């Protein structure tokens, strides 16, 4: 199995405040992993560090075997554009572009041939059930449809890993369930590696693995294995409650 992300003694400080403390984490190809923890535990900082959006102050990070310490700013930017996908809570869609144009934007910037763009789009359209909204603008579709559009845009570049920051946070329960089912389906179909930050044990129950942070340290992790989503949810809730996490 290919290791996508590996950290060793990863730390991050803002001034005198140490936010991440000696994080050792390995993410393998095809994993669907949630990072959970109370507010202030370092979840978002960890995601920003692993995705090269933010720097780190100690330790080392490897992505697909490449040490981030050895990469210059330009190389990091190109690596982020080509090998990473992002899904944010607020969608980050361009209002002046149609759904189709938003999804294809990363490929257009990479000057991907039109035939290849259409072929990749076709696979995602069917998997995410968005064929009927391709020619609509973001203002004309629902929150759930916007998030599916954002997911398609993140995955269409065939990234090594997709980072999802609270992707269900702005959705109602029905739309959240649909999105989670579709991300789970994409993970299984395309073997896309997904790392999701979430407060929500229900969202985390769709993952195969949950890593718990508290005070900048990994304090527990769970693997779904043969458990049902309900069983996994109950176990996640138990750990979250013990750590003083938030409930939704």
For the chain, the domain total comes to 1
User: Which residues lie across from 161 on neighbouring strands?
Assistant: 84, 193
Tell me how far apart the alpha carbons of residues 86 and 83 are, in angstroms, rounded to a whole number: 10
Domain housing 160:
3-245
* Residue numbers in the chain where pLDDT is lower than 70: 245-248
Instruction: Tell me the pLDDT tens digit for each residue of 192-215.
Output: 899 999 999 999 999 999 999 999
Quickly count: other Cβ atoms within 10 Å of residue 210's Cβ. Answer: 24
DSSP codes of every residue in 65-119: TEEGGG--HHHHHHHHHHHEEEEETT----TTS-HHHHHHHHHHHTT--HHHHHH
Please give the pLDDT value at position 25. 97
Instruction: Tell me the pLDDT tens digit for each residue of 23-38.
Output: 999 999 999 999 999 8
pTM for this predicted structure = 0.90
Closest CA to 91 of 22, 156, 34, 164: 164
Please give the pLDDT value at position 248. 46
DSSP secondary structure letter of residue 140: G
Please give the pLDDT value at position 245. 52
Please give the pLDDT value at position 81. 83
CATH number at residue 92: 3.40.50.300
**Cα 99 to chain center, whole Å?**
20
């Amino acid at each position: 199995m290919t290791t996508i992300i590996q950290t060793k003694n990863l730390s991050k400080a803002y001034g005198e405040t140490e936010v991440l403390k000696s994080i050792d984490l390995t993410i393998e190809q095809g994993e669907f992993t949630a990072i959970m923890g109370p507010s202030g535990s370092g979840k978002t900082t960890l995601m920003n560090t692993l995705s090269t959006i933010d720097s780190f102050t100690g330790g080392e990070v490897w992505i697909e075997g490449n040490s981030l310490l050895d990469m210059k700013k330009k190389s990091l930017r190109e690596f982020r554009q080509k090998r990473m996908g992002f899904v944010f809570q607020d969608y980050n869609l361009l209002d002046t572009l149609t759904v189709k144009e938003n999804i294809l934007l990363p490929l257009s910037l990479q000057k991907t041939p039109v035939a290849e763009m259409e072929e990749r789009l076709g696979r995602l359209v069917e998997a995410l059930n968005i064929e009927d909204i391709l020619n609509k603008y973001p203002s004309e579709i629902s929150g759930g449809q916007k998030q599916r559009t954002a997911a398609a845009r993140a995955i269409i570049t065939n990234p090594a890993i997709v980072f999802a920051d609270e992707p269900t946070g702005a959705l109602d329960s029905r739309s959240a369930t649909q999105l989670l089912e579709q991300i789970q389906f994409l993970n299984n179909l395309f073997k896309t590696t997904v790392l999701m930050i979430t407060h929500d044990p229900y969202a985390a129950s769709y993952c195969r693995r949950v890593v718990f942070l508290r005070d900048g340290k990994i304090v527990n992790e769970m693997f779904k294995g043969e458990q049902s989503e309900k069983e996994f949810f109950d176990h996640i809730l138990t750990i979250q409650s013990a750590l003083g996490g938030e409930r939704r």
